[in-house]
């Protein structure tokens, strides 16, 4: 009787999956509408398998990945930025190609490689138990996040970089821990880890405006449902025309219409995602009221490149931040008050 082949190391599995994802041609024809209407094969389902291990308790993971995938599909600039990361870009590629087990497997592998928890997912012998809190799955965004705010107690302990970003952060941190993806000059996506600080039935603003008059539109929510029998998580995601849909990986159909004003009473909010309207939509779709006002936006100058792995390439590791008004002060002896907004 032949011996079973040993499982590859997680580093080998990671490299193989990233290489596989790179070899897929870019998809520009993704039609989430057909998927949501049930006209295609089911989306991420519970109980799939990966490298011989069966997934368990995937509601948090699948809801998060579905939110990111649908958002990336709807907003081209958001997708372009997310694709610069090996892990997140690879996961989106697998989801585009309906390889859902590979997508979830890659996400878990990278969490193990980041050593974010004591018990590794791939130390398990029969199952991949994905039970956990939302924040357990967020570290895979770290290489895409240019600033984060996680201090609930003391604003004055924020780093100098965080204080510069506060013109945007201050408008979100009331609602939870804030993660800004991409530079402050052109933030593509802002994640807010609400951490259950709001009660059932509470809701977040549909649009948040920062100190530079940039508008951020609520795109999806991870919602928790807790009863005596179970704890479950679902995704509430916005579609074209303002239609809200609920994705639940455990029911049929998986996508159903959702009335935010009525049905939110059943759920608690755990994560919110906001899209920068100016960045996400083509210029012709941005109304005049959504353009920046005369406040100076920071200029971000690259100091050190982090990755150059085609086609998942770019972000930067360090930045030196100036303001337009500071530059004017350097150029003109009359710019005495130019540093007020720095």
> Do residues 50 and 104 lie in contact, with contact meaning Cβ atoms separated by under 8 Å?
yes
Where does 10-290 sit in CATH, by number?
A: 3.90.70
Instruction: Report the C-alpha gap between 103 and 278 in whole angstroms.
Output: 30
Contacts of 302 (CB under 8 A, 6+ apart): 316, 319
Task: List the Cα angle 96/98/104 in 5-degree steps.
Answer: 90
List the domain boundaries for the chain.
10-290
Give residues with Cβ within 8 angstroms of 124, minimum separation 6. Answer: 53
> Rounded distance, CA 342 to CA 283, Å?
27
Tens-binned pLDDT, residue by residue, of the chain (342 aa): 445 566 789 999 999 999 999 999 877 666 677 777 766 778 888 889 999 999 999 999 999 999 999 999 999 999 999 999 999 999 999 999 999 999 999 999 999 999 887 789 999 888 999 999 999 999 999 999 988 887 655 454 455 555 556 778 788 988 999 999 988 778 899 999 997 677 676 789 999 998 888 899 999 999 998 877 788 999 999 988 889 999 999 888 899 999 988 889 889 999 999 999 887 665 444 443 333 333 333 333 222 233 323 334 333 223 333 332 343 334 333 333 323 333
């Amino acid at each position: 009787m032949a011996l079973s082949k040993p499982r590859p190391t997680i580093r080998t599995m990671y490299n193989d999956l990233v290489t596989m994802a790179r070899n897929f041609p870019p998809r520009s024809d993704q039609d989430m509408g057909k998927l949501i209407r049930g006209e295609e094969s089911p989306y991420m389902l519970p109980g799939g398998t990966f490298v011989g291990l069966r997934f368990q308790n995937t509601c948090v993971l699948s809801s998060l990945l579905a939110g990111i995938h649908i958002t990336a599909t709807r907003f081209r600039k958001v997708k372009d930025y997310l694709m610069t990361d090996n892990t997140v870009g690879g996961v989106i590629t697998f989801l585009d190609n309906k390889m859902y087990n590979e997508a979830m497997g890659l996400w878990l592998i990278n969490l193990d490689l980041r050593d974010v928890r004591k018990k590794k997912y791939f130390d398990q012998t029969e199952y991949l138990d994905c039970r956990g809190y939302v924040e357990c799955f967020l570290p895979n965004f770290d290489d895409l996040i240019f600033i984060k705010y996680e201090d609930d107690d003391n604003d004055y302990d924020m780093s100098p970089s965080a204080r510069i970003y506060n013109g945007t952060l201050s408008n979100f941190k009331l609602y939870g821990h804030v993660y800004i993806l991409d530079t402050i000059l052109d933030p593509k996506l802002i994640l807010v880890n609400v951490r259950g600080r709001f009660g059932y039935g509470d809701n977040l603003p549909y649009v948040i405006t920062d100190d530079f008059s940039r508008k951020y539109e609520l795109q999806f929510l991870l919602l928790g449902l807790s009863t005596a029998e179970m704890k479950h998580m679902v995704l509430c995601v916005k579609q074209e025309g303002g239609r809200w849909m609920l994705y639940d990986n455990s029911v049929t159909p998986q996508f159903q219409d959702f009335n935010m004003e009525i049905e939110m009473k059943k759920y608690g909010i755990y994560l919110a995602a906001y899209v920068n309207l100016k960045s996400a939509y083509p210029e012709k779709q941005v109304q005049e009221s959504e353009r920046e006002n005369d406040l100076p936006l920071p200029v971000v100058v690259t100091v050190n490149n982090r990755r150059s792995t085609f086609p998942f390439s770019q972000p930067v590791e360090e930045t030196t931040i100036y303001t337009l008004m500071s530059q004017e002060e350097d150029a003109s002896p009359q710019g005495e008050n130019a540093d007020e907004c720095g």
